[in-house]
Amino acid sequence: MRALQLFTVLIAVTATPAALAAGPVAGTLDFNALAPANGGIPVPGGFGGFQWGSSVHAMTLPSAPADAFVAFSGTAISVRRVDGADFWFDGAEFWSRRGADANGSFYFVLSNDGQVVFDGRADSQNRMRFTGTHAFMTSGYSGPIDYMAITFRQGGDDWDHLAFDNFTYRATPLAALPAVPEPATGALFMAGLGLLAAGARIRSGRAA
Ligand SMILES: [Ca+2]
Ligand SMILES: [Ca+2]
């Protein structure tokens, strides 16, 4: 019985506490942790709990080196959670980084479980027009998604001056990763197994 108790304690020590899900929590990513990024740096995979497409870069302006924002190096722009779970995209600030005279447009395409649940290209009203002035834009779709893409008109090249910041979402906490014992904890665990084995030998010795 004591051996069982010891074993139970060891399991408790080596297990990673699971995050308690308490419904979606709201968040805003301002990307400023990636500043300064004068020439542009890829937004690291997993930043803010999301996977960012290979075309997504953080940038800063010399005039505002602490305020990073997102710019693109191509049209493959997509965002999904690291764990693939659903989230709610509540909008972001969009503008043209070329200046007040550089107008452009893009479309949101949102998916869940492999199905497109919102395609901004389907209705001209959902064409997102941006200018040199920062503007908060949402798709208008309020359901959960697991994949957000930004697309452009066929042949459109507005991707090279579109910028965004303050990505706003709601999501449940990231799922706990499988517990991997750290070296120190693993050594403790092995020491515990040694104690169990010793205890078993002692008991079997007594029984003999
Ligand atoms: Ca920012
Ligand atoms: Ca899903």
Q: Are 119 and 84 in the same domain?
A: yes
Q: How confident is the model at residue 10 (pLDDT cuts 50, 70, 90)?
A: very low
CA 81 / ligand 1 centre spacing (Å): 20
- Is 67 a domain residue? yes
Q: Is the pLDDT of residue 171 over 80?
A: yes
- Is 58 a domain residue? yes
Q: How confident is the model at residue 148 (pLDDT cuts 50, 70, 90)?
A: very high
Total residue length of the chain:
208
CA 66 / ligand 1 centre spacing (Å): 8
CA 59 / ligand 1 centre spacing (Å): 9
CA 145 / ligand 1 centre spacing (Å): 24
Which-ligand-closest: CA of 32? 1
Q: Are 102 and 191 in the same domain?
A: no
What's the angle, vertex CA 199, arms to CA 197 and CA 204, rounded to 5?
95
How far the first Cα of the chain sits from its last, in Å, is 19
Query: Which domain CATH number covers 139?
Result: 2.60.120
CA 63 / ligand 2 centre spacing (Å): 40
- Cβ pair 10, 194 in contact under 8 A: no
- Is 43 a domain residue? yes
Neighbours of 152 (CB within 10 A): 19
User: What are the backbone angles phi and psi of residue 100, rounded to the nearest 5°?
Assistant: -65, -20
CA 170 / ligand 2 centre spacing (Å): 14
Q: Is the pLDDT of residue 193 over 80?
A: no
Averaged pLDDT for residues 84-97: 97
CA 167 / ligand 1 centre spacing (Å): 9
Q: Are 94 and 136 in the same domain?
A: yes
Number of structural domains in the chain: 2
What's the angle, vertex CA 199, arms to CA 198 and CA 200, rounded to 5?
90
CA 32 / ligand 1 centre spacing (Å): 5
Which-ligand-closest: CA of 144? 2
Q: Are 134 and 64 in the same domain?
A: yes
Nearest to 163 by CA among 66, 80, 89, 59: 59
CA 43 / ligand 1 centre spacing (Å): 13
Q: How confident is the model at residue 136 (pLDDT cuts 50, 70, 90)?
A: very high
Q: Are 163 and 197 in the same domain?
A: no
Q: What local confidence, expressed as pLDDT, does residue 14 receive?
A: 46
Q: Are 67 and 152 in the same domain?
A: yes
Bigger pLDDT: 201 vs 69: 69
CA 31 / ligand 1 centre spacing (Å): 5
Q: Which domain range does residue 114 map to?
A: 25-171
Bigger pLDDT: 54 vs 67: 67
Averaged pLDDT for residues 152-156: 78
Q: Are 36 and 136 in the same domain?
A: yes
Q: Are 136 and 72 in the same domain?
A: yes
Which-ligand-closest: CA of 172? 2
Q: Are 32 and 85 in the same domain?
A: yes
- Is 20 a domain residue? no
Give pTM, 2 decimals. 0.74
